[in-house]
């Protein structure tokens, strides 16, 4: 037993050495966009941890030990919600033993609860694919939704850290002003995209297309969450001859081959888009993300 003690003490010291630094708040964001929004509003008053990256499929994340450890000390958890994280977030929250972030608490913010949801299925049946009964969870790609979530986030931050309330309020106000100006600018720039028919890979850009008035004519996935099949691609090929889409769009973390195949067969440009910040070098924050998305689509439209 005596031999173990020094090892154990060293081990504990190592662990204590990795204890988190002290900001007023610790925020656990399920996706990079919510991490960015939290940083915009909280500034240096919070340490923000992004649980996933733009390269990952956030529906299929593992409930990794590192996520559980990070959730343990979080004062606030901000996620897309609407079952996007249903496969991993519940065990992460449970195992973290952190009562402040359980659903229903002030420290648990699901963005989908504060915005109008699209694609709410009338019939919920797994034969129709991996449906989200509450609606499409990829809400951040309509910047109007970011404003709505920012408003709720400001209230939560102020409630959790009253000492910073004035700072959160002024930051939220500044963010909203910047965002509103940017939205006007984006809507002007994206005017040529209005009414443009597109084929998507997965329903992850629904809010973007809806916001910019673009029309989805088909999906590479035969059903939500089901990988593209050759028979379905043949069907899209036939459809493309009758009512052609102008663009084939997909997130750049998806397999590019189905989109490329259809693009070559139909001479329709295929574009890989960053679905959130960090998705490519240009999409660094919430503003440059939309700049980049609109840039890429306009460029492809002209070519």
Give the nearest distance from C-beta 3 to other proteins in angstroms: 16
**Residue 74: what are its φ and ψ, rounded to 5°?**
-70, 140
Give start and end residues of each alpha helix (H) in the chain: 4-17, 32-42, 65-72, 89-96, 143-160, 165-189, 206-212, 230-242, 257-266, 286-302
Q: Binding other proteins by CB under 8 A: which of 23, 24, 45, 95?
A: 95
Rounded Cα distance, 105 and 112, in Å: 16
User: Does the footprint of other proteins cover residue 24 (CB under 8 A)?
Assistant: no
Residue whose token pair is 């329903």: 203
Sheet arrangement for strand 215-219: 215-219, 197-200, 247-251, 270-273
Task: State which of positions 236-295 bind other proteins (CB under 8 A).
Answer: 253, 255
Q: Binding other proteins by CB under 8 A: which of 87, 222, 256, 269?
A: 87
**Residue 48: what are its φ and ψ, rounded to 5°?**
-115, 130
* Strand, coil or helix: 24: coil
Task: Determine the size of the site formed for other proteins (CB under 8 A).
Answer: 62
User: Does the footprint of other proteins cover residue 231 (CB under 8 A)?
Assistant: no
Sheet arrangement for strand 46-50: 46-50, 25-29, 76-79, 108-110
Task: State which of positions 199-228 bind other proteins (CB under 8 A).
Answer: 210-213, 215, 225-227
* Strand, coil or helix: 47: strand
Q: Binding other proteins by CB under 8 A: which of 44, 116, 166, 235?
A: 116
Q: How many CB atoms lie within 10 A of CB 274?
A: 22
User: Does the footprint of other proteins cover residue 185 (CB under 8 A)?
Assistant: no
Q: Which residue, 32 or 168, has its beta carbon nearer to other proteins?
A: 32
Give the nearest distance from C-beta 87 to other proteins in angstroms: 5
Using CB under 8 A, which of the segments 36-44, 83-91, 231-239, 293-301 binds other proteins? 83-91
Q: Which residues bind other proteins (CB under 8 A)?
A: 15-16, 18-20, 52-53, 55-57, 60-66, 68-70, 72-73, 83, 86-91, 94-100, 102, 116-118, 120, 126, 129-130, 133-135, 144, 187, 194-195, 197, 210-213, 215, 225-227, 253, 255
């Amino acid at each position: 037993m005596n031999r173990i003690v020094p090892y154990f003490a060293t081990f504990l010291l190592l662990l204590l050495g990795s204890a988190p630094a002290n900001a007023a708040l610790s925020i656990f964001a399920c996706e990079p966009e919510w991490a960015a929004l939290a940083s915009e509003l909280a500034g240096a008053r919070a340490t923000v941890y992004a649980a996933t990256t733009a390269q990952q499929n956030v529906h299929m994340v593992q409930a990794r030990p590192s996520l559980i450890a990070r959730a343990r000390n979080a004062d606030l958890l901000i996620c897309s919600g609407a079952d996007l994280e249903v496969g991993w977030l519940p065990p992460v929250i449970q195992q973290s033993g952190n009562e402040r972030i359980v659903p229903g608490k002030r420290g648990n913010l699901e963005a989908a609860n504060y915005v109008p949801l699209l694609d709410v299925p009338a019939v919920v049946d797994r034969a129709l694919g991996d449906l989200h009964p509450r609606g499409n969870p990829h809400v951040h790609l309509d910047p109007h939704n970011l404003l709505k979530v920012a408003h709720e986030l400001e209230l939560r931050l102020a409630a959790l850290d009253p000492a910073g309330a004035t700072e959160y309020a002024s930051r939220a106000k500044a963010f909203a002003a910047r965002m509103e100006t940017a939205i006007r600018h984006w809507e002007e720039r994206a005017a040529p995209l209005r009414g443009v028919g597109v084929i998507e890979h997965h329903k992850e850009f629904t809010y973007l297309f809806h916001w910019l008035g673009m029309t989805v004519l088909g999906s590479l996935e035969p059903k939500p969450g089901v990988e593209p099949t050759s028979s379905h691609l043949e069907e899209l090929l036939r459809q493309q001859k009758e009512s052609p889409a102008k663009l084939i769009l997909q997130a750049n973390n998806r397999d590019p081959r189905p989109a490329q195949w259809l693009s070559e067969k139909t001479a329709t440009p295929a574009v890989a888009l960053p679905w959130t910040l960090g998705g490519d070098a240009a999409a660094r924050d919430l503003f440059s993300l939309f700049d980049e998305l609109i840039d890429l689509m306009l460029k492809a439209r002209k070519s």
